[in-house]
Chain A
Protein backbone atom coordinates (compact mmCIF):
# COMPACT_ATOMS: atom_id res chain seq x y z
CA UNK A 1 0.00 0.00 0.00
CA UNK A 2 1.07 3.56 -0.68
CA UNK A 3 -0.58 4.66 2.53
CA UNK A 4 -3.85 4.28 4.28
CA UNK A 5 -7.05 4.59 2.28
CA UNK A 6 -8.70 8.02 2.32
CA UNK A 7 -12.43 8.01 3.10
CA UNK A 8 -14.97 10.68 2.12
CA UNK A 9 -15.89 11.31 5.75
CA UNK A 10 -12.26 12.19 6.58
CA UNK A 11 -12.07 15.05 4.07
CA UNK A 12 -12.96 18.63 4.98
CA UNK A 13 -13.76 21.50 2.63
CA UNK A 14 -10.79 23.87 2.51
CA UNK A 15 -8.25 21.22 3.44
CA UNK A 16 -5.03 20.78 1.52
CA UNK A 17 -4.11 17.76 -0.56
CA UNK A 18 -0.79 16.17 0.41
CA UNK A 19 1.69 18.09 -1.82
CA UNK A 20 3.81 16.21 -4.37
CA UNK A 21 7.30 17.60 -5.12
CA UNK A 22 8.77 17.04 -8.59
CA UNK A 23 11.92 17.94 -10.42
CA UNK A 24 12.43 17.97 -14.19
CA UNK A 25 15.79 17.44 -15.84
CA UNK A 26 16.75 17.36 -19.50
CA UNK A 27 17.32 13.60 -19.11
CA UNK A 28 13.81 13.17 -17.66
CA UNK A 29 12.28 15.03 -20.60
CA UNK A 30 14.01 12.69 -23.05
CA UNK A 31 12.61 9.76 -21.08
CA UNK A 32 9.15 11.36 -21.23
CA UNK A 33 9.52 11.90 -24.99
CA UNK A 34 10.07 8.16 -25.45
CA UNK A 35 7.39 7.06 -23.00
CA UNK A 36 4.73 9.42 -24.34
CA UNK A 37 5.71 9.33 -28.01
CA UNK A 38 6.02 13.12 -28.21
CA UNK A 39 9.33 13.70 -30.02
CA UNK A 40 8.96 17.43 -30.56
CA UNK A 41 12.58 18.74 -30.42
CA UNK A 42 11.27 21.80 -28.57
CA UNK A 43 11.71 19.76 -25.39
CA UNK A 44 15.32 18.56 -25.82
CA UNK A 45 17.10 20.57 -28.51
CA UNK A 46 18.38 24.00 -27.50
CA UNK A 47 19.07 25.22 -31.05
CA UNK A 48 15.55 24.22 -32.14
CA UNK A 49 13.98 25.84 -29.07
CA UNK A 50 15.87 29.08 -29.74
CA UNK A 51 14.73 29.12 -33.36
CA UNK A 52 11.14 28.44 -32.23
CA UNK A 53 11.29 31.58 -30.09
CA UNK A 54 11.05 29.72 -26.80
CA UNK A 55 14.70 30.32 -25.90
CA UNK A 56 15.51 26.95 -24.40
CA UNK A 57 13.92 23.51 -24.06
CA UNK A 58 10.76 23.55 -21.93
CA UNK A 59 8.96 20.94 -19.85
CA UNK A 60 6.17 19.15 -21.75
CA UNK A 61 2.71 20.33 -20.75
CA UNK A 62 1.54 16.71 -20.76
CA UNK A 63 4.23 15.71 -18.23
CA UNK A 64 3.06 18.46 -15.88
CA UNK A 65 -0.50 17.20 -16.43
CA UNK A 66 0.53 13.69 -15.36
CA UNK A 67 2.28 15.07 -12.26
CA UNK A 68 -1.09 16.53 -11.28
CA UNK A 69 -2.84 13.25 -12.07
CA UNK A 70 -0.36 11.53 -9.72
CA UNK A 71 -1.07 14.16 -7.05
CA UNK A 72 -4.69 13.00 -7.17
CA UNK A 73 -4.19 9.22 -7.50
CA UNK A 74 -1.66 9.23 -4.62
CA UNK A 75 -4.15 11.12 -2.46
CA UNK A 76 -7.32 9.10 -3.22
CA UNK A 77 -5.69 5.66 -2.86
CA UNK A 78 -6.61 2.38 -4.51
CA UNK A 79 -10.33 2.68 -3.77
CA UNK A 80 -10.68 6.26 -4.99
CA UNK A 81 -11.66 7.14 -8.56
CA UNK A 82 -10.48 10.20 -10.47
CA UNK A 83 -13.70 11.19 -12.26
CA UNK A 84 -12.88 14.51 -13.86
CA UNK A 85 -9.62 16.32 -14.36
CA UNK A 86 -8.52 19.46 -16.16
CA UNK A 87 -5.44 21.66 -16.32
CA UNK A 88 -4.08 24.50 -18.43
CA UNK A 89 -0.48 25.03 -19.44
CA UNK A 90 -0.18 28.74 -18.68
CA UNK A 91 3.55 29.31 -18.35
CA UNK A 92 6.74 27.64 -19.50
CA UNK A 93 8.88 25.62 -17.11
CA UNK A 94 12.60 25.07 -17.72
CA UNK A 95 14.23 21.70 -16.87
CA UNK A 96 17.46 21.43 -14.90
CA UNK A 97 20.62 20.56 -16.82
CA UNK A 98 22.59 17.44 -15.91
CA UNK A 99 25.81 17.69 -13.88
CA UNK A 100 26.70 14.04 -14.40
CA UNK A 101 25.05 10.98 -15.97
CA UNK A 102 22.85 10.60 -12.91
CA UNK A 103 22.70 13.95 -11.14
CA UNK A 104 21.12 17.24 -12.14
CA UNK A 105 22.53 20.65 -11.26
CA UNK A 106 20.90 22.45 -8.36
CA UNK A 107 17.77 24.29 -9.32
CA UNK A 108 14.06 24.46 -9.30
CA UNK A 109 11.71 22.02 -7.57
CA UNK A 110 8.08 22.13 -8.59
CA UNK A 111 5.30 21.57 -6.08
CA UNK A 112 2.02 19.96 -7.12
CA UNK A 113 -0.65 21.15 -4.73
CA UNK A 114 -4.39 21.11 -4.25
CA UNK A 115 -7.23 22.23 -2.05
CA UNK A 116 -10.68 20.76 -1.43
CA UNK A 117 -13.37 23.17 -2.62
CA UNK A 118 -16.56 21.11 -2.28
CA UNK A 119 -17.78 17.89 -0.73
CA UNK A 120 -21.12 16.37 -1.79
CA UNK A 121 -23.08 13.25 -2.63
CA UNK A 122 -24.35 12.74 -6.16
CA UNK A 123 -26.60 9.69 -6.56
CA UNK A 124 -24.66 7.12 -4.56
CA UNK A 125 -21.25 8.65 -5.37
CA UNK A 126 -19.37 10.45 -2.60
CA UNK A 127 -17.64 13.28 -4.47
CA UNK A 128 -14.92 15.81 -3.72
CA UNK A 129 -14.08 18.80 -5.94
CA UNK A 130 -10.58 20.24 -5.76
CA UNK A 131 -8.54 23.07 -7.18
CA UNK A 132 -5.12 21.79 -8.18
CA UNK A 133 -2.00 23.52 -9.46
CA UNK A 134 1.75 23.38 -9.98
CA UNK A 135 4.02 26.02 -8.45
CA UNK A 136 7.47 26.65 -9.87
CA UNK A 137 10.54 27.33 -7.71
CA UNK A 138 9.50 30.97 -7.29
CA UNK A 139 6.06 29.98 -6.05
CA UNK A 140 4.34 31.07 -9.27
CA UNK A 141 1.46 28.94 -10.57
CA UNK A 142 2.32 27.69 -14.06
CA UNK A 143 -0.31 24.96 -14.37
CA UNK A 144 -3.72 25.48 -12.72
CA UNK A 145 -6.47 22.89 -12.85
CA UNK A 146 -9.45 21.20 -11.25
CA UNK A 147 -10.32 17.65 -10.28
CA UNK A 148 -13.38 15.75 -9.09
CA UNK A 149 -12.85 12.44 -7.28
CA UNK A 150 -15.12 9.77 -5.87
CA UNK A 151 -14.03 8.35 -2.51
CA UNK A 152 -15.23 5.31 -0.61
CA UNK A 153 -17.57 6.08 2.30
CA UNK A 154 -17.42 4.32 5.66
CA UNK A 155 -21.23 3.99 5.58
Chain B
Protein backbone atom coordinates (compact mmCIF):
# COMPACT_ATOMS: atom_id res chain seq x y z
CA UNK B 1 0.00 0.00 0.00
CA UNK B 2 1.22 3.47 -0.70
CA UNK B 3 -0.07 6.93 -0.10
CA UNK B 4 -1.67 8.99 -2.87
CA UNK B 5 1.02 11.52 -2.14
CA UNK B 6 3.75 9.09 -3.17
CA UNK B 7 1.83 7.75 -6.19
CA UNK B 8 1.63 11.20 -7.78
CA UNK B 9 5.35 11.13 -8.62
CA UNK B 10 4.82 8.26 -11.09
CA UNK B 11 5.45 9.29 -14.72
CA UNK B 12 7.16 12.54 -13.66
CA UNK B 13 10.34 13.40 -15.56
CA UNK B 14 13.33 13.78 -13.26
CA UNK B 15 15.93 14.93 -15.74
CA UNK B 16 17.26 15.26 -19.27
CA UNK B 17 21.01 15.04 -19.88
CA UNK B 18 23.41 15.15 -22.80
CA UNK B 19 26.42 12.83 -23.01
CA UNK B 20 29.35 12.88 -25.38
CA UNK B 21 30.65 9.33 -25.57
CA UNK B 22 34.41 9.84 -25.65
CA UNK B 23 36.82 7.13 -26.75
CA UNK B 24 39.10 7.73 -23.75
CA UNK B 25 36.17 7.54 -21.34
CA UNK B 26 35.15 4.20 -22.85
CA UNK B 27 38.69 2.84 -22.40
CA UNK B 28 38.94 4.05 -18.79
CA UNK B 29 35.55 2.48 -18.05
CA UNK B 30 36.60 -0.86 -19.58
CA UNK B 31 39.91 -0.66 -17.68
CA UNK B 32 38.06 -0.17 -14.39
CA UNK B 33 35.90 -3.22 -15.10
CA UNK B 34 39.02 -5.20 -16.03
CA UNK B 35 37.62 -5.83 -19.52
CA UNK B 36 40.31 -6.00 -22.21
CA UNK B 37 37.87 -6.61 -25.10
CA UNK B 38 39.50 -4.93 -28.15
CA UNK B 39 36.07 -3.77 -29.43
CA UNK B 40 36.19 -1.14 -26.67
CA UNK B 41 39.76 0.10 -27.23
CA UNK B 42 41.44 -0.98 -30.47
CA UNK B 43 40.56 1.10 -33.57
CA UNK B 44 42.19 -1.30 -35.98
CA UNK B 45 40.46 -4.34 -34.50
CA UNK B 46 37.09 -2.58 -34.27
CA UNK B 47 37.30 -1.47 -37.91
CA UNK B 48 37.45 -5.09 -39.04
CA UNK B 49 34.68 -6.15 -36.61
CA UNK B 50 30.96 -6.16 -37.47
CA UNK B 51 30.73 -2.70 -35.81
CA UNK B 52 33.30 -0.92 -37.98
CA UNK B 53 34.56 1.35 -35.17
CA UNK B 54 35.03 1.42 -31.40
CA UNK B 55 31.88 0.77 -29.38
CA UNK B 56 31.12 1.21 -25.68
CA UNK B 57 30.50 -1.79 -23.42
CA UNK B 58 26.77 -2.33 -22.86
CA UNK B 59 25.92 -0.16 -19.85
CA UNK B 60 28.24 2.73 -20.73
CA UNK B 61 26.47 5.77 -22.17
CA UNK B 62 29.09 8.42 -21.48
CA UNK B 63 30.61 9.90 -18.34
CA UNK B 64 29.43 10.23 -15.64
CA UNK B 65 27.39 7.03 -15.54
CA UNK B 66 25.90 8.07 -12.25
CA UNK B 67 25.33 11.21 -10.27
CA UNK B 68 28.75 12.26 -8.92
CA UNK B 69 27.49 11.94 -5.34
CA UNK B 70 26.68 8.31 -5.96
CA UNK B 71 22.96 8.64 -5.44
CA UNK B 72 21.50 7.95 -8.88
CA UNK B 73 19.79 11.22 -9.80
CA UNK B 74 17.91 11.39 -6.52
CA UNK B 75 19.69 14.51 -5.32
CA UNK B 76 18.69 16.29 -8.53
CA UNK B 77 15.00 15.37 -8.37
CA UNK B 78 12.75 18.31 -9.20
CA UNK B 79 10.62 19.69 -6.36
CA UNK B 80 7.40 18.12 -7.68
CA UNK B 81 9.03 14.72 -7.08
CA UNK B 82 11.20 15.54 -4.06
CA UNK B 83 8.46 17.26 -2.02
CA UNK B 84 6.03 14.29 -1.89
CA UNK B 85 8.94 11.98 -1.03
CA UNK B 86 10.22 14.23 1.75
CA UNK B 87 6.70 14.71 3.18
CA UNK B 88 6.56 10.92 3.51
CA UNK B 89 9.85 10.95 5.38
CA UNK B 90 12.15 9.82 2.56
CA UNK B 91 15.53 11.48 2.50
CA UNK B 92 17.76 11.46 -0.58
CA UNK B 93 20.76 10.75 1.67
CA UNK B 94 19.42 7.26 2.39
CA UNK B 95 19.39 6.18 -1.28
CA UNK B 96 20.67 2.66 -1.98
CA UNK B 97 21.26 1.07 -5.34
CA UNK B 98 18.96 -1.94 -5.72
CA UNK B 99 19.64 -3.17 -9.23
CA UNK B 100 19.43 -2.48 -12.93
CA UNK B 101 17.54 -3.74 -15.95
CA UNK B 102 18.56 -2.90 -19.53
CA UNK B 103 17.10 -3.25 -23.01
CA UNK B 104 19.91 -2.77 -25.53
CA UNK B 105 18.67 -1.82 -29.00
CA UNK B 106 21.48 -0.14 -30.95
CA UNK B 107 25.28 -0.04 -30.35
CA UNK B 108 26.80 3.03 -28.70
CA UNK B 109 29.83 4.21 -30.71
CA UNK B 110 32.77 6.33 -29.59
CA UNK B 111 31.91 9.84 -30.79
CA UNK B 112 28.15 9.47 -30.30
CA UNK B 113 26.17 12.20 -28.60
CA UNK B 114 23.36 10.75 -26.51
CA UNK B 115 20.40 12.43 -24.89
CA UNK B 116 18.98 10.71 -21.83
CA UNK B 117 15.56 11.31 -20.35
CA UNK B 118 14.56 9.79 -17.02
CA UNK B 119 11.06 9.26 -15.64
CA UNK B 120 9.74 7.73 -12.44
CA UNK B 121 8.33 4.51 -13.87
CA UNK B 122 6.99 3.09 -10.63
CA UNK B 123 7.22 3.46 -6.88
CA UNK B 124 6.33 0.84 -4.30
CA UNK B 125 6.43 1.13 -0.54
CA UNK B 126 7.18 -1.66 1.89
CA UNK B 127 7.33 -1.81 5.63
CA UNK B 128 10.40 -3.40 7.11
CA UNK B 129 11.78 -3.87 10.61
CA UNK B 130 13.59 -0.55 10.43
CA UNK B 131 10.68 1.42 8.98
CA UNK B 132 9.22 2.18 5.58
CA UNK B 133 11.17 1.77 2.37
CA UNK B 134 10.30 3.02 -1.10
CA UNK B 135 11.48 1.16 -4.21
CA UNK B 136 11.65 3.69 -7.02
CA UNK B 137 12.05 2.47 -10.58
CA UNK B 138 13.70 5.16 -12.71
CA UNK B 139 13.50 4.50 -16.43
CA UNK B 140 16.07 6.26 -18.58
CA UNK B 141 15.74 6.30 -22.36
CA UNK B 142 18.91 7.02 -24.35
CA UNK B 143 18.64 8.51 -27.85
CA UNK B 144 21.59 8.94 -30.20
CA UNK B 145 22.32 11.79 -32.61
CA UNK B 146 20.30 10.00 -35.32
CA UNK B 147 17.20 9.97 -33.14
CA UNK B 148 17.40 6.21 -32.54
CA UNK B 149 16.63 4.80 -29.10
CA UNK B 150 19.87 3.00 -28.20
CA UNK B 151 18.80 1.63 -24.83
CA UNK B 152 16.40 1.77 -21.93
CA UNK B 153 17.68 1.43 -18.40
CA UNK B 154 15.47 0.77 -15.40
CA UNK B 155 17.33 1.42 -12.15
CA UNK B 156 15.90 0.49 -8.77
CA UNK B 157 16.68 3.03 -6.07
CA UNK B 158 15.76 2.20 -2.49
CA UNK B 159 14.89 5.07 -0.16
CA UNK B 160 14.48 4.55 3.58
CA UNK B 161 11.94 6.58 5.52
CA UNK B 162 12.74 8.37 8.73
CA UNK B 163 9.11 7.95 9.84
CA UNK B 164 7.22 4.71 10.43
Give A contacts to B, CB under 8 Å.
Answer: 2, 22, 28, 31-32, 34-40, 42-43, 60-63, 65-67, 69-70, 72-74, 78-79, 81-89, 145
Q: Which of B4-12, B28-36, B78-86, B111-119 is found at the contact surface with chain A? A: B28-36
What residue of chain A has the Cβ atom nearest to residue B65's Cβ?
A: A36
Tell whether, in the assembled complex, residue A73 and residue B97 are in contact, meaning their CB atoms are under 8 Å apart: no
Q: Do B101 and A38 touch (CB < 8 A)?
A: no
**With A62-B97, A89-B97: A70-B35 Cβ-Cβ less than 8 Å:** yes
Closest 7 CB pairs of A and B: A37-B64, A40-B70, A88-B99, A35-B32, A86-B101, A38-B66, A61-B97
Docked-complex contact A39 and B104, CB < 8 angstroms: no
Which A residues lie within 8 Å of B103 (CB)? 83-84
**Number of residues from B at the complex interface, CB < 8 A:** 35
A-side contacts of B32, CB under 8 Å? 28, 31-32, 34-36, 63
Question: Of all chain A residues, which has the CB nearest B29?
Answer: A35
Q: Chain A's nearest CB lies how many Å from the CB of B20?
A: 13
Q: Which residues of B contact A72 (CB under 8 A)?
A: 58
Task: Report the minimal beta-carbon distance from B99 to chain A, rounded to whole angstroms.
Answer: 4
Pull 9 A–B residue pairs with CB atoms less than 8 Å apart, ordered by A.
A22-B34, A36-B29, A38-B68, A39-B69, A70-B33, A70-B37, A73-B35, A73-B37, A86-B102
**B57 contacts the other chain (Cβ, under 8 Å)?**
yes
